[in-house]
Amino acid sequence: MDEELMFAQLLEKAEQKVVLGQELINDLDNFNEISGVAKVQRNINQEIKFLRKVIKNSTLKLNHIQCSNLTHYEFLVKILKLQKDIVHVDCGFTVNYRENPLRVDIVCENGLKWIKAIARNSKSLIDAARGEAGYGARSIVDQAREFAQAAVENLCMFKRPKVVFYFSHNIESDLAEDLIKEGIEIASLEQPPDSADASDLSNVSTLNLDVTTLLAYISNVCNGSCYWKFQEPILTEQAEKERDTPLKPILDKLFTGKIDRLKIIY
């Protein structure tokens, strides 16, 4: 009786996965003009077919659900919906020391941003980083080095693409620091539990600003010229982004109470 109950519960979870897979395929129809999306849809369909097969012949096991790639694809689609100017999904880039291309989950911002989707829990990532995963498994830090090197070798518009690792769960600070040292930016769909309240930032007395931020602050585009028509495509793109999300008000708020120091530089 217990075995029958367990199988019934597994069956319910498997059927939920099948429904999820179909929903993901439907969601991706909204991105069907983007290179690589059709391939991802085919991969999802293969996952659905496999689950239906083991359901039909009553060979369904817990491992079939836990190891389903649908978890990864669900996370991938969530990230995809947040991006702008997407040019490719599941894109391969050549790297000198690799026999096979390095797969990048999402290439967006007209090629200037690479995203790797990581739908693994924090413990498994830490175990892999410490070498406690299975034989031959590469740690997330090893993968970070590969992505950083690949970005250097595959410039876009003469720039190194920004590499972002998206995590489905918050990760430990030590691991985050290791990734940042490799030149990787970190993002998550979860709100960090210890994140500082936005109001706390107003109490910060010192700002460390890079030259790019200061140039943006005093640029013509951010000071009323975003409606001009530019001959250079990159300036046109920057002007469009400035119209959509003006940068000056954001920086003005950040600089409140610190503007006297900035006048010395200005």
Residue pLDDT, tens place only, 64-76? 998 899 999 999 9
- Look at the pTM and tell me if it is higher than 0.75: no
Does pLDDT of 46 surpass 90? yes
Phi, psi for 156 (deg, rounded to 5)? -125, 120
Tokens 């002007």 belong to: 239
pLDDT at res. 189 = 79
Top pLDDT among 62 and 1 is at 62
Does pLDDT of 190 surpass 80? no
Does pLDDT of 186 surpass 60? yes
Contact indicator for 91, 107 with CB cutoff of 8 Å: yes
Spatial separation of the C-alpha atoms in residues 67 and 48, rounded to whole Å = 13
Top pLDDT among 39 and 200 is at 39
Spatial separation of the C-alpha atoms in residues 10 and 222, rounded to whole Å = 56
Report the 10 Å Cβ neighbour count for 159. 10
pLDDT at res. 28 = 98
Alpha carbon of 111 to those of 106, 128, 193, 233, 247: distances in Å?
9, 30, 32, 14, 22
Task: Give the mean pLDDT of the chain.
Answer: 82
Interstrand relation of 88-93 and 102-108 (parallel, antiparallel or unpaired): antiparallel
Burial status of residue 113 (CB atoms within 10 A of its CB: 0-12, 13-18, 19 or more): buried
Model confidence pLDDT, tens digit, residues 92-129:
999 888 889 999 999 999 999 999 999 876 566 666 55
Top pLDDT among 109 and 253 is at 109
